[in-house]
Amino acid sequence: SFWIFLFFLAGMVIPFQVVMLPLTSLLQTLKNITGIPFKDTYYGVILAYVGFGAPLSIFLFHGFIRSIPMDIEEAALIDGCSKAQVFFKIILRILKPIFVTLIVLNGMWIWNDYLLPSLMIGLDGDVKTLPLSVKNLVGTFDKEWGLILTSVLMAAVPILVMFFFAQKHIIKGMTSGAIK
């Protein structure tokens, strides 16, 4: 299990810019093998976000779970809980701050990302994410600043609302996994 953990941590060390070009050729190879198009579709973008987001999520979960004392689990088992009850009734409730932290961190990253969708979807297709749509409002010779700034504000509001509602859980989740 240690080697699997290190394998996932290696994903945090390798920058995205190193795997950009091999990723596009991998998507074409996957289409040739399976017949499922991953380029210019939401499926490919979702698959890439899961792959690139997993290392940070696993790292934070690992740190947070290691900070949970074993005494809590042992006490619940002595009180008559099954292992499933211990997990669903006790451990998952303790993990709530890290779940919220990861939802906000990954949500902000995915919501605002421009490079990965532009690489996998392209700028001219029918499938677009919000940052790609905002970019299409900027023309070569014409810039509608009122429209651009309004769309940027509308794109930022959901993330700001999510952050303000989850702020106390984010701080708790980030500090609990760091301190043992």
Q: How confident is the model at residue 26 (pLDDT cuts 50, 70, 90)?
A: confident
Q: Report yes or no on whether pTM surpasses 0.85.
A: no
Average pLDDT, the chain: 86
Q: What is the pLDDT of residues 47-83, one digit of tens each?
A: 889 989 999 999 989 988 888 888 988 999 999 999 9
Q: 138: which strand partners?
A: 143
Q: What is the rounded CA–CA span in Å between residue 118 and residue 125?
A: 10
In this predicted model, what pLDDT tens digit does every residue of 100-127 receive, in sequence order?
888 888 988 998 899 999 888 877 778 8
Q: What was the pLDDT predicted at 57?
A: 92
Strand residue runs (E) in the chain: none
Q: Does residue 73 sit in helix, strand or coil?
A: helix
Between CA 171 and CA 151 the distance in angstroms is: 29
Residues 71 and 86 sit within 8 Å (Cβ to Cβ):
no
Long-range CB pairs of 38-43, under 8 A, 24+ apart, other chains included: 38/120, 39/120, 39/121, 40/120, 40/121, 40/122, 40/125, 40/127, 41/121, 41/127, 42/127
